[in-house]
Amino acid sequence: MIEARGLTKDYGSKRAVDDLSFDVRPGIVTGFLGPNGSGKSTTMRLILGLDRPTAGTVTVNGKGYRDLAAPLHEVGALLEARSVHTGRSAYHHLLALAQTHGIPKRRVHDLIDLVGLHEVAGKRAGTFSLGMGQRLGIASALLGDPQTLLLDEPVNGLDPEGIHWIRNLLKSLAAEGRTVFVSSHLMSEMSLTADHLVVIGRGRLIADASVEEFLRRASKDVVLVRSPEAARLLSLLQAAGIEAKPAEDGALEVTGLAARRIGDLAFEHRVPLHELTPQQATLEEAFMDLTRDDVEFRALQEAVA
């Protein structure tokens, strides 16, 4: 369980995190969404006690991170920025971390096998690919068998096989009753792994809802209609004052009228229907909608375009 209350962090005159309050509950995967630069990594660092909040508090299992007597047993973290000495082998890196908590060597070996680094455990971490580095980061996060996991952009730089591996790992960790908090700027990734979403933009909370609720809230209430008599249906709808317009390959996009009512209307006028599909917003679209007012996000879009 992670609880943030009024969490705020300034770097000089720039406010990176602005009055964030949210809970991350055990047993589910909570996705932490936001465009790049929205304050996700800063929030992670505040949770881990690496940075001190300017105002507000954040606790893990009811305690501030710095007050945890055995933090690796309570929280495992994978930060976005690499946190490994490039000149040290994967094995010695994990061993040094394990020793701070009296974790036995056997556990280090087991984790190296689990994340698939057995072949390269003796090599210097500086020689690792991005994917291998992520696996090493996951291994250090799991070292203390923690109840809570914080993962900052874990799929970054992973190949499809690695991404699949992370997804399943996150799900199985949550299924074991753990608290899993995973950040990403990729909405599509979150739609596959997360049950609950905390969405931020420019350091502020935009949404804190289940994935379904998030989508429902952002759904545009559009129905896609296909008919061999599309033109007649279009004029019928428009005559009834309903917003409708032709879409791709002869279909119609009807806004503001439930699919059921469109079907009834067509039946009354004996217009055959071939398709009647309520359009659900994708997580991607929902996210765009919610962050539309976000200046930095718009700037980012322009930069990408």
Partner 1 sequence: MTTLPVSLPRARVTLPRVLLSEWTKLRSVRSTLWSFFAALVMTVGFPVLFSFVVRSHWSHMSPREQADRHPLDVALVGTHIAQLAIGVLGVLVISAEYSTGMIRASMTAVPRRLPVLWAKTAVFAVVTFVLLLPAVLLAFYLSQTIFRAHHILEISFTHPGVARTVVAGALYLALVGVFALGLGAIVRNTAGGIATFAGILFVIPPLLLLLPSSWDNAISPYLPSNAGESMFTLAPGSHSLSPWAGFAVFLGYAAASIALAAALLLRRDT
Q: Are 140 and 97 in contact (CB under 8 A)?
A: yes
| Site size for partner 1 (CB under 8 A) | 52
Least Å from the CB of residue 68 to partner 1: 6
Per-residue tokens: 123: 């090599």
Q: Which of 17, 120, 142, 271 binds partner 1 (CB under 8 A)?
A: 142
82 near partner 1 (CB under 8 A): yes
66 near partner 1 (CB under 8 A): yes
Sequence length of the chain is 305
CA angle 277, 283, 288 (to 5 degrees): 110
Letters for 33-52 (x = contact with partner 1 by CB under 8 A, - = none) are: ------------x--xxxxx
Letters for 84-123 (x = contact with partner 1 by CB under 8 A, - = none) are: xxxxxx--xx-xxx-xxxxxx--x--xx--x---------
- Nearer residue to partner 1 within complex by CB, 5 or 73: 73
58 near partner 1 (CB under 8 A): no
Q: Are 131 and 162 in contact (CB under 8 A)?
A: yes
- Nearer residue to partner 1 within complex by CB, 129 or 168: 168
Least Å from the CB of residue 223 to partner 1: 42
Beta bridge partners of 199: 33, 207
* Secondary structure (3-state) at 122: coil
Ramachandran bin of 268, using left for φ above 0, alpha for ψ from -120 to 50, beta for the remaining angles: alpha
23 near partner 1 (CB under 8 A): no
CA angle 287, 133, 2 (to 5 degrees): 50
Q: Which stretch binds partner 1 (CB under 8 A): 60-68, 197-205, 207-215, 227-235?
A: 60-68
224 near partner 1 (CB under 8 A): no
Name the one residue in this structure whose structure tokens are 């300034």: 10
Q: Which residues are CB-neighbours of 209 under 8 A, at least 6 positions away?
A: 196, 197, 217
Estimate to the nearest angstrom the gap between the alpha carbon of 196 and the chain centroid: 9
Question: Between 230-239 and 259-268, two packed helices, what is the crossing angle to 10 degrees?
Answer: 110
144 near partner 1 (CB under 8 A): yes
253 residue type, one letter? E
Least Å from the CB of residue 94 to partner 1: 10
- Nearer residue to partner 1 within complex by CB, 149 or 237: 149
181 near partner 1 (CB under 8 A): no
173 near partner 1 (CB under 8 A): yes
- Nearer residue to partner 1 within complex by CB, 120 or 283: 120
Q: Which residues are CB-neighbours of 132 under 8 A, at least 6 positions away?
A: 117, 120
Comparing C-alpha atoms, which of 86, 193, 180, 103 is closest to residue 140? 103
Residue 274 is classified by DSSP as: S
- Nearer residue to partner 1 within complex by CB, 48 or 199: 48
Q: Which of 73, 123, 167, 204 binds partner 1 (CB under 8 A)?
A: 73
158 near partner 1 (CB under 8 A): no
Comparing C-alpha atoms, which of 7, 11, 21, 16 is closest to residue 37? 16
List residues binding partner 1 (CB under 8 A). 45, 48-52, 65-73, 75, 77, 79, 81-89, 92-93, 95-97, 99-104, 107, 110-111, 114, 140, 142, 144-145, 165, 168-169, 172-173, 176
